[in-house]
Chain A
Amino acid sequence: MTATTDIPLPQPTELSRPFWEAANEGRLTLQRCDACGHLRWTPQILCTNCLAEPFTWVDVSGRGRLYSYTIVHRAPLAGFEIPYVLAVVELEEGPLMLTRLVDSPIENLAVEAPVEVAFTRASDEINLYTFRLAG
């Protein structure tokens, strides 16, 4: 991702603010249920496994595999510079994450390829959790 100025930036909510604050420090965090230990993404008020409410934000490895991807040639908004790679990453810890791949040559992309979180700074508050092919 090169230009991040003209794309719609995330507006953190009360629920998601800790995630974005961690991202700002270069950490990828997920909610872990205090009752059953289930990790969930995206942020939810209740555990998606056991419906318990208490949870803790925990750092995850930022490593995973490419579940699948697409190279987008027709952007929904002018601010997105084409082509770009929209991807679903299967985190080592389990959850699927919709994200963007950066710094990854298109000819090297392959489903199941190992990936790692890259982070792309978009503003003082927002550090986007992009991914890239792992070296």
Chain B
Amino acid sequence: MRKVNGARDIAIVGVHATRQQKKSGRTVVSMMMESIRGALDDAGIPLSEVDGYISYIFPAGNGRGFDDGAIAEQFGHPIAMTAQTSGAKAVLLAGAAIRAGIAKVVIIPAAGAQSLAGDMATYTRPTFEFTEWTGSMTPAQYGIMARRHMHEFGTTIEQMAEIAANSHYNASINPQAVRFGDDVQTVERILNGRMIADPLTQPMCSLVNDGASCIVVTSAERAQDCRHPPVWVLGGAAETHGNSYFEAPSLRMLGTRQLMIDGFARAGVRHDDIDIVMCYDHFAHGPIVQFETLGFCEPGEGGAYVPDAIRLDGVHPSSMDGGNLAYSHNMIPYNFKQIEVVNQFRNVVEDLCPGWREGVHTYDRAICRKVRDPKLSVGCGPLTDARHAFTILAKD
């Protein structure tokens, strides 16, 4: 069998994120096209070369939707490969399609404009006969998981608050973050925040905002002529083992962690070699379950391990952009985990350092959110109670 994982044959060559903000008044399609143009411009690849498209399908004008036919119609040329997902899982699929010769340049746009509808997301409250009547909603689902983790393993709410505080702090020095300029949420403030679904307070819950992002994936050959050095996709793993939000939330993901751990072995990478772990802080307990599932620590050890590990100078920095809690949750924020790794690799990290545009960082954590010299990183997402994926990304 030909060994493909771990090879430097597939690369992320372009990334872009639009302004992430509350109540932008913009349409999803307008933001998405901005992100596509931005990412292709970043890569130095024209739209005419794009023959792969991976994104969740959403309603567009006149009920047509943005399905594969609508995309080909809009782009004015044939699209060889389309699929519906985002983030790490989309990057892995793009790599597989490129290796198989099905597509050459795959774009992965994601956009959402949810916040016009209110300050609570609706997409995880299915109109399902066994869910809707219970008053289930996203924070409640994850409040249930957080409490179960606390019960089974002795994880504390203070540990979860520390994880949330890391995201909020990093957003306070990222001018692109939705919560930039707001009062910084400290551990104490987070614990005393407005209770949404006990034990989760509001600062432990994802934002709801507008914005778009796009990733461009191509082959090593095509990457040679791109504007930036390639970010190699060494491998990863993905799994879906249940119907999140319809079924009872649980910690059963921990039972399938070997599927995730195998992804590191396939790529020929050891956990200790990884620098950044851009995990998925949809709710404050999320990074704990994720570090455990990925095999960075044993189930039950995450509460003690994660809060220190993910700091900017920790062993596995995470949510350097502010994460879902304080940078952006635009309905589909999975791409941001890949994009932040790429930006850190490229040394294009906007913060309060006077020289950030020139790549000059102070590493003074009062103003600087640049990680020191990352070379090998993990980018996660999606993550729910029953869906999980990650990539292993490397720079030369």
Contacts and interface: CB of A to CB of B under 8 A. Distances in A.
**How big is chain B's contact interface, by range?**
20 to 34
Contact of A72 (B122, B140, B247): B140
Contacts of B136: 76, 86, 98
Given A72-B137, A112-B151, A8 B246 contact: no
B148 A111 contact: yes
Contacts of B250: 67-68, 88, 96
A51 B133 CA distance: 29
A128 to B, nearest CB: 6
A98 B134 contact: yes
Given A84-B135, A98-B248, 6 more contacts: A7-B135, A70-B199, A73-B198, A74-B194, A76-B137, A96-B250
B396 interface: no
Contact of A100 (B122, B135, B194): B135
Given A7-B133, A11-B129, A98-B247, A86 B151 contact: no
7 contacts: A7-B132, A8-B127, A70-B198, A73-B195, A74-B195, A86-B140, A98-B249
A71 B197 contact: yes
Interface in A34-86: 42, 67-77, 80, 84, 86
B139 interface: yes
B140 A42 contact: no
Contacts of B144: 67-70, 86-88
Contacts of B133: 7-10, 100, 122, 128
A70 B130 contact: no
A69 B147 contact: yes
Which of B133, B147, B198, B250 gathers most chain A CB within 10 Å?
Answer: B133
Contacts of B143: 70, 72, 86
Interface string A9-49: 11111001000000000000000000000000010000000
A39 B122 CA distance: 31
B125 interface: yes
A106 B250 CA distance: 21
Given A67-B148, A68-B148, A88-B250, A73 B196 contact: yes
Nearest to B196: A74
A71 B198 contact: yes
A13 B130 CA distance: 11
A96 B242 CA distance: 13
